[in-house]
Amino acid sequence: MSRPGLSTEWWRGAVIYQVYPRSFADGNGDGIGDLPGLLAKLDYIAGLGVDAIWISPFQRSPQEDYGYDVSDYRDVDPLFGTLEDFDRVLARAHQLGLKVLMDQVWSHSSNQHPWFLESRASRHNPRADWYVWADPAADGTAPTNWLSVFGGPAWSWEPRRRQYYLHHFLSSQPAFNLHNPAVVEALLEAGRFWLDRGVDGFRLDAVDWMCHDPELRNNPSVHQAGQPIPAKPFGMQLHQHDLLHPHTLEVIRSIRGLQDEYPGVTTLAEISSQDGAFDRLRRYTGEGMLDMAYTLRFMKGNLSHETVASTLHWMTEHQEGWPCWSFSNHDVERVASRWSPAGEEPGQPRPEFLRLLMALLLSLRGSICIYQGEELGLPEAELRQEDLRDPFGIAFWPDYKGRDGSRTPMPWRQHGPHLGFSEAQPWLPLPETHRALAVEAQAREPGSTLNAWKDFLRFRQNHPALVHGMLEHVGTPTPLVCFRRLLDGEALLCVFNLSAVPQELGRPAGETLEPLWSHAARLEDGFGRIQLGPCGAMICRLSQPSGG
């Protein structure tokens, strides 16, 4: 399908805004966000200065994993609206200059999908091998020791076939057998349905889980005797055989073939936090593969000089492939609560630290994903056990509180019912800590986090080196992070103080510095040493002194 006038690489350096539709805006007053609600807020998203939106799943689903269990890949769940509602969202987004990416969950489906209902009926039907089935061990137990991310064995018994089926997550999310070309083609055909409607690309969920070891070998243990037993036993294994199989690359090539039928569309892969994540990112986005990938590896634990420095070093060493950087999404604790300045424990978010994170994220080489509410500096919501909806959190409470704390509804108004999200009781409660951070309140405050994001996104657009330039890591002592962005003779020096203690950095030898953007930072004597206050950051243009 030809798409005249579309740049085939618009996605390089693009800023993508993730919408979790269930919690974004409620258009019909039932307490759950939907496509009409999103339509009403598209002007807000465009006003931020982003390039695209990624919409989390809104296809038909029993909602046991809140949309990541699809029962019909070609229709909109009535909870979110209709196909016509989606067409209106797509048309309005394009009018506003926004590209639209859809979530596609192609590693597994719902157990209510007609394909699975047929597959489980017998061992001899047209879709008998569309999912991963295996005979029990000699003693009737599961075929392998593989574990579900959500706890317990990754196998469930199906008496109709006298076999087990594989599920990496909930038992209601059976894994596709993507070693079967017919399954891959059926999913690609579902993708064509949406591409023909005009979507601009796909975010591909759980790519590392797409292919398993057909020999069904057990995973080795990484748990040492005497170590504490974790709440999540998934971490007690080295996941050599249940995921990360080399055939994933063949599936990716097939997806790339679909993409090439529609010039101008893009693909964004989700990569797990399993070891080797950055190497997989490079391979998944190499020549003839997907366009972009992000990894959950960068969303675990606290931010540290070592983490950022090693990432920057990797970016300097590996210019092939294309990363998409993200600090938050619907699966992890909000970054405002998860990360803190060096030497401090996460707690009440510091506005100055949130400015630093914003500038760091938007200055990295690659494309960028920001998660709804990140531009407001929303902290993680503290929910009661009885408020939880996430099956992951319900299963592991209180050791792990699940993902609901990052999925609470957007606060649109400081006053009024449910902070402007809905007239009805929302599906998750809105925390009181989000009231003062509502969009309406921040929009009228020039120094707000929201307006800082808008200003920096404009600044980034005006400096192509930040969007398309090469990146060179500049070694600095802890807690400073420093790198250059280089494009067409322009060199920008980006410096960040990851601590709450003032720091300073000397001027590069033989260079003059022209400050372009700063936060809690200044140049000493006009163009000498860079003085960085707590969580300070500065971006300067580098140039040779006249006559030098």
* pLDDT in the model for residue 332: 95
Whether the CB-CB separation of 453 and 358 falls below 8 Å is answered with yes
State in Å, rounded, how far the first CA of the chain is from the last one.
54
3 state SS of 249: helix
| Rounded Cα distance, 419 and 414, in Å | 6
Contact 55, 81 (CB under 8 A): no
Q: For domain 470-543, is the CATH number 3.40.50.620?
A: no
Is 71 within 8 Å of 62 (Cβ atoms)? yes
Query: What six digits make up the tokens of 167?
Result: 């599920």
pLDDT confidence of residue 548: 35
The ranges of the chain annotated as CATH 2.60.40.1180 are 470-543
Query: For 342-411, where are the E strands, in sequence order?
Result: 367-371
298-to-454, 471, 534 alpha-carbon distances in Å: 24, 18, 23
String of DSSP letters for 319-330: -SS-BEEES--T
With tokens 């090439």, the residue in question is: 260
Could you please state the CATH topology (level 3) that the domain comprising 15-109+181-460 is classified under.
TIM Barrel (3.20.20)
**φ/ψ of residue 315, rounded to 5:** -65, -35
pLDDT at residue 547, rounded to an integer: 41
- Cβ 368 vs Cβ 14: under 8 Å: yes
Q: Which of 26, 51, 85, 205 is catalytic?
A: 205
How many CA atoms lie within 13 Å of 216's alpha carbon, on the beta-carbon side? 16
3-class DSSP assignment, residue 54: strand
Give 92: exposed, middle or buried? Use CB within 10 Å, 0-12, 13-18, 19+. middle
| Active-site residue, selected from the candidate residues 9, 84, 135, 261 | 261
Q: What is residue 527's predicted lDDT score, i.e. its pLDDT?
A: 57
Q: State the pLDDT at residue 100.
A: 98
Longest CA–CA span in the chain (Å) reads 84
Closest CA to 492 of 381, 359, 375: 359
Q: Which of 170, 206, 237 is nearest to 393 (CA)?
A: 170
* Residue among 352, 296, 360 nearest 328 (CA): 296
Q: What is the pLDDT of residue 5?
A: 39
**Nearby residues of 345 by Cβ (< 8 Å), 6 or more positions away:** none
Q: In terms of residues, how long is the chain?
A: 548
Q: In which residue ranges of the chain is CATH 3.20.20.80 found?
A: 15-109+181-460
pLDDT per residue rounded down to tens, the chain (548 residues): 334 334 679 999 999 999 999 999 999 999 999 999 999 999 999 999 999 999 999 999 999 999 999 999 999 999 999 999 999 999 999 999 999 999 999 999 999 999 999 999 999 999 999 999 999 999 999 999 999 999 999 999 999 999 999 999 999 999 999 999 999 999 999 999 999 999 999 999 999 999 999 999 999 999 999 999 999 999 999 999 999 999 999 999 999 999 999 999 999 999 999 999 999 999 999 999 999 999 998 887 778 888 888 888 887 887 788 999 999 999 999 999 999 998 888 877 889 999 999 999 999 999 999 999 999 999 999 999 999 999 999 999 999 999 999 999 999 999 989 999 999 999 999 999 999 999 999 999 999 999 999 999 999 999 999 999 999 999 999 999 999 999 998 999 999 999 999 999 987 777 889 999 999 999 987 557 899 999 999 999 998 654 43
Q: Is residue 205 annotated as part of the catalytic site, yes or no? A: yes
CB 289 within 8 A of CB 283: yes
Q: Which helix (H) or strand (E) holds 302?
A: none
